[in-house]
C-alpha cells in the first residue's frame, strides 16, 4: 500500500461500521450520507468511519524486512 510506504508499524483496529452506505462511485471529502454511520468504497475494500467512538485500537504490529529463510517449527507434536 503506497500510503504506508517506509513505515515499520501498523495499527490494527476493530471498527463498528453501523449502517453502511455503499458508494457507487469514488467520492472525496464528502460528508456522511444522511441516515448512515459509515461509507464503503465501490469495491467494498475500504471503509470510512466518521465517528472516532466506532474505532477501537487493538494491536500495534511491528515489521521489517526479513533476513534469511523463514522456517516454522510445530511445537504441538
pLDDT digits (tens, 9 = 90+) for 11-67: 999 999 999 999 999 888 899 999 999 999 999 999 999 999 999 999 999 887 778
Torsion angle of C-alpha atoms 44, 45, 49, 52, degrees rounded to 10: 150
Report pLDDT for 1.
60
Biggest CA pair distance of the chain: 55
Closest-CA residue to 39 (of 48, 30, 50): 48
Report pLDDT for 51.
96
What are the cell numbers at 39? 461509507
SS3 assignment, position 64: coil
- The pTM assigned to this predicted structure is 0.67
User: Are the C-beta atoms of residues 39 and 20 closer than 8 Å to each other?
Assistant: yes
Amino acid at each position: 500500500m503506497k500510503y504506508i510506504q517506509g513505515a515499520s508499524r501498523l495499527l490494527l483496529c476493530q471498527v463498528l461500521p453501523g449502517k453502511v452506505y455503499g458508494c457507487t462511485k469514488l467520492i472525496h471529502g464528502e460528508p456522511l450520507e444522511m441516515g448512515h454511520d459509515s461509507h464503503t468504497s465501490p469495491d467494498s475494500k475500504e471503509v470510512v468511519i466518521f465517528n472516532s467512538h466506532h474505532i477501537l485500537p487493538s494491536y500495534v504490529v511491528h515489521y521489517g524486512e526479513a533476513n534469511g529463510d523463514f522456517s516454522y517449527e510445530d511445537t504441538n507434536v
